[in-house]
Structure 1
Amino acid sequence: MDPVLEIKELSGGYIWNRPVIRELDFSIHPGEMVGLIGLNGAGKSTTIKHILGLLAPQTGSVRVMGLERGDDTGRYRGSFAYVPEAPELYEELTIREHLRMTAMAYGLDSAAFERRTVTLADQFDMTDKLDSFPQTLSKGMRQKVMIMNAFLVEPPLYVIDEPFLGLDPLGIRSLLDLMVERKKSGAAFLISSHILSTLETYCDRFIVLHRGRIAAKGTLQQLRSSAGGAPEKTLDDLFYTIVKGGAT
């Protein structure tokens, strides 16, 4: 099965010939959830910006559904949805208008828009907020709007950056349930988070970035083998061991 996301020998950053990330090589297939973890400054955000097409590779390539950014920008960007760490909303648009704008950008028809809007608003306890403006919402509610926009369009790939920050328990549960549901339908996920216990429970594989390079990658069992084979080690334990130099 062809990968949804394929990154080959990717190096890049913000200044030419001064890469932040170096020679990254990984892929994500349909129905797979992969956790991207690392210390602050490890290169997670830079990696995500390359996937989103906000940064051009200095060397190597990023492909989503077989396409690079320069092949067909519209199709490339229509192949994924992104949930940023910090909510970014238009203050002059209501929540419903945000969702409608997203539907228009992705070519979602009116019937699907209405049906999915009702379902998502109910799941995230936001039904009575659909005609509100962002300035009336808490940070957690604004984050729910970002999540609702991403899951409205049902793309092949979801790129999610620290999704649990600010969410209440209902929001966290609703997001996790949606992720599992979409994964079963064949969607691929790349999730960056510092909440390693949640990633350990839900992700199939993990990529550990350290100082701009992949320090380790694989299933939990593969990470355990690379860290000495201790079967009882949690992802948090393994991460500590890897970034402290106990595994490469």
Structure 2
Amino acid sequence: MSLQVKNVVGGYSQVPVLKDISFDVRDGELVGLIGLNGAGKSTTINHIIGLLTPFSGTIDINGYQIATNNQEYKKQIAYIPEIPVLYNELTLKEHIEMTIMAYQLDHEKAWQKAHSLLKTFRLDNKLDWFPVDFSKGMKQKVMIVCAFLTDAQMFVIDEPFLGLDPLAVNDLLDLINDRKKQGCSILMSTHVLDTAERFCDRFVLIDDGHIEIEGSLAELKAKFPDAGDSLNNIYLSLAKGELK
């Protein structure tokens, strides 16, 4: 079932940023959320993760809505923000312990998974370090480890490739593919269109708070045959208003 966004109107004040948007992310699918700066991507994500409440419309994840079952709804989600959110006073080990408690995970199994993830992202020798002092890329790796440590069925990932070295990008894509095979769903906002083109199953293009178009790359090419054969060309043509 996974994520279903239906007729959502929302924003940060009385003036809506999102204007009656609807889309879904199915089980075992990676969907790229694409749009210019200010198009509504972050606002969409903030509504999905529960930081904002829609003025109207519904957001459903695996049969749960935040208004009727807040705890179960949020347990479905693992979120990797564009700007890492870390706590000054907590070590890497304590960040992992906090994630285990927040998601009510089996402690032994969770740490087995954590050690594997830490080794993958070359953080296994930094458990007693304070991530707040890490580089941007290392902070991003901490957020990735904490997210993929969980048993979440819905991953929301905002601009994950910014600051990551090429090896870490490859490791993250491997994790995403593994979770897709397990039936998890991933919504990923990104401006790195060449990577999105190679790995996303479908795309949702948002512009000025509206869903401009959604579909697979093949469907986008069929709809706009004169725009070129790449996601980047189609996206740029749409952004410039050259396609209707």
TM-score in terms of structure 1 length: 0.95
Match for residue 144 of structure 1? 141
1:140-162 deviation per Cα after TM superposition (whole angstroms, max 9, x unaligned):
11110011000000311000000
Contact 1:215 1:243 in 2 (8 A): no
Match for residue 174 of structure 1? 171
SS of the aligned residue for 1:215 comes to: strand
Match for residue 233 of structure 1? 229
Match for residue 217 of structure 1? 214
Distance 2:226 2:58 in 1: 33
Gapped runs of 5+ residues in structure 1? none
Q: CA RMSD in A?
A: 1.1
Of residues 33, 36, 49 in structure 2, which corresponds to 1:36?
A: 33
Q: Percent identity?
A: 45
Distance 1:73 1:247 in 2: 41
Contact 2:87 2:132 in 1 (8 A): no
Distance 1:194 1:154 in 2: 27
**1:13-28 superposed matches below 5 A:** 13-16=11-14, 18-28=15-25
Match for residue 163 of structure 1? 160
Contact 1:100 1:113 in 2 (8 A): no
Contact 2:136 2:163 in 1 (8 A): yes
SS of the aligned residue for 1:159 comes to: strand
Match for residue 75 of structure 2? 78
Distance 1:196 1:138 in 2: 25
Residue 126 in 1 paired to residue 119 in 2? no
Residue 6 in 1 paired to residue 38 in 2? no
Match for residue 57 of structure 2? 60
- Residue identity in the other structure for 1:165: L
Contact 2:91 2:128 in 1 (8 A): yes
Contact 1:227 1:246 in 2 (8 A): no
- Residue identity in the other structure for 2:242: G
SS of the aligned residue for 2:187 comes to: strand
Distance 1:101 1:72 in 2: 22
Divergent runs of 4+, >6 A:
none
Distance 1:155 1:36 in 2: 19
TM-score in terms of structure 2 length: 0.97
> How many Å apart are 1:228 and its aligned residue?
2.7
Residue 244 in 1 paired to residue 240 in 2? yes
> How many Å apart are 1:245 and its aligned residue?
2.1
Distance 2:226 2:180 in 1: 29
Distance 2:132 2:56 in 1: 42
Gapped runs of 5+ residues in structure 2? none
Residue 107 in 1 paired to residue 104 in 2? yes
> How many Å apart are 1:19 and its aligned residue?
0.6
> How many Å apart are 1:229 and its aligned residue?
5.8
Higher mean C-alpha deviation, range 102-111 or range 37-46: 102-111
- Residue identity in the other structure for 1:71: T
1:54-91 deviation per Cα after TM superposition (whole angstroms, max 9, x unaligned):
11111111111111111111101000100000011001
SS of the aligned residue for 2:167 comes to: helix
Residue 92 in 1 paired to residue 89 in 2? yes
Distance 1:48 1:56 in 2: 11
